[in-house]
Chains A and B, each alone.
Chain A
């Protein structure tokens, strides 16, 4: 356990799938050699394949105190980078259409907006994902080099690039497949929760750029922080796949609204737009209680009352959404 723990809450009811967070992260951290396929932050459509595809079904995490490593995802699962034949088309006078090569077969957000059917209605939602900076990181345990460590001062999990030898046990161990191998460097890389920004009092780039204002950042153990309130006081945000045993520190407000069109006025729980089974698959059984709590808050406001939880979720300004406290987490030397 670290002394403090930075955490993020993402309200999935507000995510519009615009990928601004993805690009903010990519421009800042993974616009280098060997990092083309890396999305420390990605947004995937759910239900769907995810990135790398089927990451949620191949393994990783803990079971009965033992690591459950999965096979390594391959570049087929991430999707091979492709280029277009602009030169032939535009400069060499070849008449074939502009085509990508190699033929794209997979990629990040490959199945965007496909979703699934709930009886006769299509449904989907967006799931933004970063490293979960887990309290019990499987990646850290798996590394024989001890190259991965959890920062004592703020709980951020990072890979020491000097110690990393590119063995990739961490990738197999991570149940969220949020570590990527840089073959050019021969080292593994992952989301660093923008710690250099946090240390200067700036919030994570993915959060700062989010037009949907769905991200909340702060210390989980700081009673003033929005993440503390949403996760521990209002209890309306849950980690992804809690049964993997790593105790993530990224939490999600489950997508529960709006109701199906014909159900207007009825309880969302009766006939939810997103089938409850799917939400249980992602967030565990507790999601049922969270939806009950969220609906109760919604009803409170619909009846003219005031819901502190919903006011917080609206997150009107940066001061509400972010509590970055570099002074608090600074290690006194």
Chain B
């Protein structure tokens, strides 16, 4: 019985220290992310393609894989070990380009839903499949700027440190979300500009974010549809610090 208590206490300490590492520590300099001050306009970067972006320094950010939720889930393999990040400030915007290799292109064009109410139409749009999941990516940063050295919890922030999540989905588009901890993510109803291309097994997605000051922490996530990724089943980076 005593041994068991000891194990519980030890586990709790370990958990606490991990949580502390996630929430409380100032990110190391190895996690800094240089931001190009681009003379090009945000628009030209947003639509520019590789020619515009190749001049900007790239940082390869390591990704981690969340563990399976259920015992019966298939083991999650680290098929996407990293994401290449380029950031630039232009025209009062922060542009972030995420590039990663994903041999499976999990995106479809959903049938357009007519504007007329369904009860006035003989034909309704059908659910074509119920087991499709799509590629996606996200950039997360603290909702309160200037919140000091404390970065929010990586698990979608926490009550004291809400986060904003700019989420892009290969099928459903780009949407702004807010969260205050795991399971609290909600759509704000706002969209944001995102430009995505898939070529030769690689995704390039440009996120147009509001300008974030130097020192802001940002984290990235990637979902692989063919691995049936969604919600917490994903790849994620630790916090990076914008220079």
Residues of A whose CB lies within 8 Å of any CB of B are 31-38, 59, 66-69, 72-75, 78, 81, 144-146, 162-163, 165-169, 171, 180-184, 186
A193 CB to nearest B CB, Å: 22
CB pair B232–A144 under 8 Å, yes or no, is yes
**Interface mask (B122-136 → A, CB under 8 Å = 1, otherwise 0):** 001111111110000
Taking a contact as CB atoms under 8 Å apart, the answer to whether B183 and A144 are in contact is yes
Give Cα distance in the complex from A75 to B110, angstroms: 16
Interface CB pairs A-B, < 8 A, 26:
A31-B118, A31-B124, A35-B127, A36-B126, A37-B126, A37-B127, A69-B72, A72-B131, A73-B131, A75-B130, A78-B130, A144-B183, A144-B232, A165-B231, A166-B230, A168-B130, A168-B131, A168-B230, A169-B69, A183-B110, A183-B127, A183-B128, A183-B129, A183-B130, A184-B110, A184-B125
The closest CB in chain B to the CB of A181 belongs to B130
Residue of A nearest to B228 (CB): A72
| B28 close to chain A: CB less than 8 A | no
Asked whether A144 and B69 contact (CB < 8 A) given A180-B130, A183-B132, the answer is: yes
Q: How far is the CA of A38 from the CA of B126 in the complex (A)?
A: 10
Give Cα A69 to B125, complex, Å: 29
CA distance A36 to B231 in the complex (A): 26
Whether B118 pairs with A32 at a CB distance below 8 angstroms is yes
Contact of A167 among B111, B131, B231 (CB under 8 A): B231
The distance in angstroms between the C-alpha atoms of A32 and B125, with both chains bound, is 8
Q: Which residues of A contact B127 (CB under 8 A)?
A: 34-38, 75, 180-184
- Specify which chain B residues have a CB less than 8 angstroms from the CB of A66 in the assembled complex: 71
- B124–A33 contact, CB under 8 A? yes
A186 to B, closest residue via Cβ = B172
Beyond A59-B72, A162-B186, A186-B172: 20 further Cβ-contacts under 8 Å? Answer: A31-B118, A31-B124, A33-B113, A33-B118, A36-B124, A36-B126, A36-B127, A37-B127, A37-B130, A68-B72, A69-B70, A69-B72, A74-B129, A75-B127, A146-B183, A167-B231, A168-B131, A168-B230, A183-B132, A184-B125
Whether the pair B230, A167 counts as a contact (CB closer than 8 A) is yes
4 tightest Cβ-Cβ pairs between the two chains A and B: A33-B125, A181-B130, A183-B127, A72-B131
Contact A74 to B124, CB < 8 A, known contacts A184-B110, A186-B172? no
**Which B residue sits closest to A34, measured CB to CB?**
B127
Q: Is the CB of A144 within 8 A of B231?
A: yes
In the complex the two chains form, what is the Cα distance from A165 to B223 in whole Å? 15
Residues in chain B within 8 A of chain A (CB atoms): 69-73, 110-111, 113, 118-119, 124-132, 172, 182-183, 185-186, 230-232
Contact indicator A74/B131 (Cβ below 8 Å): yes
B185 CB contacts on chain A under 8 angstroms: 145, 165
CA distance A162 to B186 in the complex (A): 8
How long is the Cα–Cα vector from A162 to B71 in the complex, in angstroms?
29
How far is A54 from B130 in the complex, measured between Cα atoms in Å? 16
User: For residue A181, which residues in chain B have a CB less than 8 angstroms away from its CB?
Assistant: 127, 130-131
Q: Which residue of A lies closest to B129 (CB)?
A: A75
Q: Kindly report which residue of chain B lies nearest to residue A145, judged by CB atoms.
A: B183
A180 to B131, CA, bound (A): 11
Nearest-neighbor residue (CB-CB) of B231 within chain A? A167
Cα of A260 to Cα of B183 in the assembled complex, Å: 56
Minimum Cβ distance to chain A for residue B192 (Å): 18
Give A171's nearest chain B residue, CB to CB: B130
Q: How far is the CB of B74 from chain A (nearest CB, A)?
A: 10
B118: chain A residues within 8 A (beta carbon): 31-33
Distance between A8 CB and nearest chain B CB, rounded to angstroms? 26
| Chain A residues whose C-beta falls within 8 Å of the C-beta of B230 in the assembled complex | 165-168
